[in-house]
Amino acid sequence: MTKMKQCETWIWILLMTIEFTACQDFDIFVFSEQWPPATCIKGRQEKKTCKMPLVYNYWTIHGLWPCSSSGDNPKYCPGPSFNFSQISNLTEELISYWPDIYDKRSIQGLWNHEWTCHGTCAQTIPATKNERRYFKKNLELIKKFNITSILSNHNVSPSEGNPYSPTIILDILKKDLGHAPLLICIEDEVRF
């Protein structure tokens, strides 16, 4: 498994939106990407088992969450239950970009959780107003904010012997994204 030294399980990119109405319980979206090998290390600390072999050597979706700048983030809002048929023709892309790397649940279980916990609370704006749009928005964002490509374009790639500091990673991302994301690091076992 590729290790990443001082940095990174998730990168959170704050996405501001102007499509809000007065009835919403959130004012920003947080889009989060994860580096699967680092997520597995964190998972082991929480007694979770990763699916092996872990073939994801690129950043994947962790989630898109409606959030409030006040810190009171909505979860499990009223709305329709998860219905896989709404996204079944997105399965190939979702498996690639939004895999469940843990053994305990099915891939549909992960997507069910994300819709039920977060997607139902994002229905108040047109871009994420239903299950299909919510999942399509996640796919759109992972392609637009492709951390794997951004780092690769700056010759930053995973390796056993070439650690990068969080500062280098953040500087690259800030330059290419136009703002600095929040970078959450796990213990020194992880390298990048």
Q: Which residues are marked as active site?
A: 62, 114, 118
Residue 33 CA to its chain's centroid (Å):
3
Q: Is 138 exposed, middle or buried (0-12, 13-18, 19+ CB in 10 A)?
A: buried
Tell me the CA distances in angstroms from 183 to 57, 125, 145, 176, 186, one per residue in order. Answer: 18, 27, 14, 15, 10
Q: Which of 69, 67, 62, 59 is nearest to 169 (CA)?
A: 59
Query: What residues contact 91, with CB distance under 8 A and at least 6 apart?
Result: none
Distance CA 148, CA 72 (A): 31
